[in-house]
Chains A and B, each alone.
Chain A
Amino acid sequence: MPEVDDAKLHEDEQRLKEIIERPKTGRRVSEIKDELGTTMNQYVAVYREEEGLQKAHEVVRRLKEEAKTAYVDDQGTVFNQDVLGAVELGYMLDCSEAIVVAAIERKESRGAQFRVDYPDRNDEEWQKHIDISRNGDDVPHVSYSPVTITQWEPEERKY
């Protein structure tokens, strides 16, 4: 087991305490999770296009704000799945935003992304990874890295 210093533990404890003690004035965690799921399913599944992705991005940004005041019902310390749900919601929102931003960025169709507005595969411009990082910022940063090709040359899917 890796060692964890007390300061970090204390910090996490405070974070959980803050969630548990939130007043019931905001939205329910489950409500936000539900809206996030529905939005991602509607706009960011296999068939994607600019307009829908932008809408999705707006929703995710709004939900991120709302999540800061989302409340939980369970105030206990035993098997508190409610607070766990609130913590996980934060990660879900981060991941969702990364997916949406990268999907908007990639203006071609490849693999499980079918851009209705860019139906063709474009190796010349897009045979590269899109890396999304946050580095403590609220907004994700986009950068690229090259694809390492090993035994199998990538080729267009023809079925």
Chain B
Amino acid sequence: MAEFKLKLRRYNPETGEAPYWQEHTVELEPHRSVLEAILQAKNNEDGSIGVRCSCKAAICGSCGVRVNGKPGLACHTHLDAALASAKDGETIVVEPMGNMPVIKDLIVDMDAVHWKKIQRVTPWLVNREPVPEREYIVPRESMVDVTQSMACIQCGACVSDCLSMEVDPLFIGPAALAKSYRFVGDPRDDMQQVRLKDLSEDPHGIYDCTHCFKCIEACPKGVAPMSQIMRLRRIAGNDHHIVDRNNGDRHERAFVSLIRDHGLLWEAELLPRSYGGDSWFGKFHPHAGKELLSSLPAITKALLRGKVTPMGALKPHDIPAKDLEQVQRIYKTVEEREERVEFNLYISGKDEDLLPSSTATEEASA
């Protein structure tokens, strides 16, 4: 048994008072969970502490909270680990999840945000016609491919920390987009193209993700929502050639071609091409012109400061010709493949995980 100091963020909407902090000292074994600690405080000291929970085994997804600022399941966070990440070295701080309105104490309104976004992506299978008389026979690989997104337990931890949603609350967000991959990747679904078109064209869709890895870090089940979003983009652009109005596909294409043609990024060309289209002429497209005009204050300042010079940044900088040839040969090899080669650690695991346990232990002790 050990003593742990717990600091809870409390909020009662009926008092009209602002949220406040409340401290409790609990006594538990260090391997017990933060949830047990909250429940001990609730049971022994203040029954009015609001916290959702059910299974205590990281499978129901009810007890999503933020522990020392990081989102996760209270039942899946050991007290010793929580103490180790305490900012002041001694107080475990528990707060409600972010990006969602707080109903009371640690309970947030999942309906208002998380579930609404899940509903947004048509979270069910739309049958491919004709429906076979008996069951669908699905290739094993394609089901393995969607298992990662199926591992989601809807706890909302990724939504809590999504940095895009923080500035754009309309962003469909990590959980819902991972859910949408679950159906885009399912060969029985008939709506792959429609789903992807919808999610690409939505200004708050797949191209609104800022690639910050917060959701990957937050997820207690290894779903890696951001990776699923990247796969949605890959299929939308490469397989369905969807050119969206958000410049998402154009930006990706411009970037990839610029590296192919120069080996290094040519920023001065990337921006206009992202708006106007992937060619040297892109910058003369009206969209690119409009964009350049709105960026004028930044560009003028950059020129005045000598940061950007016509001879420096405004001309491409290439790698040596022989190396560029090598890069282009690699491009050719990969782009000419009929089937996409993807290596997913979630499915394949690492070689070292497959070592016999005795070897692994020896290595660990070595």
Contacts and interface: CB of A to CB of B under 8 A. Distances in A.
Chains A and B touch each other in the complex, with CB atoms below 8 Å apart = yes
Interface of A: 28-31, 33-34, 72-82, 85
A137 B264 CA distance: 83
B46 A79 contact: no
Contacts of B333: none
Given A28-B43, A30-B43, A78 B12 contact: yes
B48 A74 contact: yes
B103 A74 contact: no
5 contacts: A29-B47, A76-B104, A77-B14, A81-B47, A85-B47
B107 interface: yes
A30 B47 contact: yes
B13 interface: yes
Interface residues of B, number: 14
Nearest to A82: B47
Contacts of B103: 78-79
A29 B39 CA distance: 13
B44 A78 contact: no
B50 interface: yes
Contacts of A82: 47-48
Nearest to A74: B48
A143 to B, nearest CB: 34
Contacts of B50: 79, 81
Contacts of B9: none
B42 interface: yes
A73 B46 contact: yes
Nearest to A79: B104
Nearest to A33: B43
Contacts of A85: 47
Contacts of A78: 12-14, 103-104
Given A76-B12, A78-B103, A79-B104, A34 B47 contact: no
Interface in B33-64: 42-44, 46-48, 50-51
Nearest to A29: B47
A29 B46 CA distance: 11
Contacts of B44: 28, 30
Interface string B1-44: 00000000000111000000000000000000000000000111
Contacts of A79: 50, 103-104, 107
A30 B14 contact: no
A79 B104 CA distance: 7
Contacts of B107: 79
**The 9 residue pairs across chains A and B that have the minimum distance between CB atoms:** A30-B43, A74-B48, A73-B47, A82-B47, A79-B104, A73-B48, A76-B14, A79-B50, A78-B104
* Residue from the set A30, A77, A80 with the largest chain B CB neighbour count within 10 Å: A30
Contacts of B51: 81
Given A28-B44, A73-B47, A76-B104, 8 more contacts: A28-B47, A30-B43, A30-B44, A30-B47, A34-B43, A73-B48, A78-B14, A82-B48
Contacts of A72: 47
Contacts of B13: 78
Contacts of A33: 43
B36 to A, nearest CB: 13
Nearest to A72: B47
A37 B105 CA distance: 27
Nearest to A86: B47
A135 B299 CA distance: 82
B62 to A, nearest CB: 12
Contacts of A75: 48
Contacts of B43: 28, 30-31, 33-34
Nearest to A83: B47
Contacts of B104: 76, 78-79
A33 B42 CA distance: 13
Nearest to B48: A74
A30 B46 CA distance: 10
A2 to B, nearest CB: 23
Nearest to B104: A79
A79 B96 CA distance: 14
Contacts of A34: 43
Interface in B101-124: 103-104, 107
A16 B251 CA distance: 60
A70 B47 CA distance: 12
